[in-house]
Chain A
Amino acid sequence: MGDDLRVKQARLEAILRECGSLCIGYSGGVDSAFLAVSAVDVLGPERVLAVTGRSEAYPAVQHEMALEVVRSFGVPHIEIDTDELNNPDYAANPANRCYFCKTELWSGLVPLAADRGLAVVADGANADDSADYRPGARAARERGVRSPLQEAGLTKQEIRLLSRARGLPTWDQPASPCLSSRLPYGLAVTPERLRQVEAAEDELRALGLSEFRVRHHGDAARIEVSPAELDRAAAHAGELARALMRVGFPRVLLDVEGYRRGALNESLVQLKAS
């Protein structure tokens, strides 16, 4: 571990001590898993609570990982139901959709933390996230939610390194945002579409692909796989098409450029440029 990373880790520990006690919005992804385990390491389990907000947009495979981490590392954990799909502002799927989702989440967590005497509500945002389009961050700021990993200057790559050193199974887990992120802005988010996407991604996983997204475009599924796996995916074109048609997509497409994070934000970049 380099000196810079040691300094950032020490900074994170100091931030957590300064917080005193913590209620963490916990998805079980790389960042929130590392934050939850670090908080328990520094503060002890009696001063930490990880809270998972569950809805149709939360992938089952992510839920399994979330439970594995809290069980293995002794992180106190509860789940709450969130109802963002019944909010028309969210379901219409505007570019700031995440704002409405996070508003729903933090509206549940902030009073919950107060009830339990936990001083700070925190999320797993990291230093890289400030460079991406993140309307959800606004909802966090409005409710006083802190981002200890970001405050410590830790990047995703550094969090992966520290997670590996701590023995976390999430260290090499691909990024896994909510299922609604697979729908282009403006295409309504419905439970049915989310179920189709989740089932389609389960099929791709079963075919041995590891990093991918199935984007729901209404009349078609557009598969993005990592550039390293593109040729393999193309070689199994027929299987992919059959698998996705089985789960209800009438048309199946393979993106020739492959998976890139925030691909659906490309439409926003084009709008800004025009």
Chain B
Amino acid sequence: MTGNEDTAARLQRVRRLLDSAGLTGAEVDVAGHESEIVAVAAPASELARLRELAPAMKALGFRYVALELGAENAGQPPARRPMNETSRELP
């Protein structure tokens, strides 16, 4: 398994984890110079739930779990999925 395939597989597992916790449709992506961060685009009100899920996501090999607040290229997120609520407050 290559690094990219590994990352894709880990992101898929994160999505399943989020789905099982009721956060269906939340966008997930990696960030950082070593892809060490899993970034979840979800409503800010879901922060507490994401905090509870953080240990499980870190167990998949990510060092940090973060809530996506905004990005310059937010129009084309790499892992976009349908989401019931608006997850980003953009400038």
B90 within 8 A of A: yes
**A174-188 contacts to B (CB < 8 Å):** 184, 186-187
A224-236 contact mask (Cβ, 8 Å, vs B): 1 or 0: 0000001100110
Q: Contacting B32 at CB < 8 Å: which of A219, A230, A244?
A: A219
Minimal beta-carbon separation of B50 from chain A (angstroms)? 4
Distance between Cα atoms of A115 and B62 in the complex (Å): 51
A257 within 8 A of B: yes
Number of chain A interface residues as a range: 20 to 34
| Given the contacts A230-B47, A256-B50, A237 and B69 also touching, CB distance less than 8 Å | yes
Distance between Cα atoms of A274 and B40 in the complex (Å): 26
B31 engages A217 (CB within 8 Å) = yes
B33 engages A255 (CB within 8 Å) = no
Distance between Cα atoms of A252 and B69 in the complex (Å): 5
B69 engages A254 (CB within 8 Å) = yes
Interface centre among A223, A230, A242, A251 (most CB of B within 10 A): A251
- B: residues with CB less than 8 A from A are 31-34, 36-37, 39-40, 44-45, 47-48, 50-51, 54, 63-73, 88-91
- A: residues with CB less than 8 A from B are 184, 186-187, 217-220, 222-223, 230-231, 234-235, 237-238, 240-242, 244-245, 250-257, 263, 266-267, 270
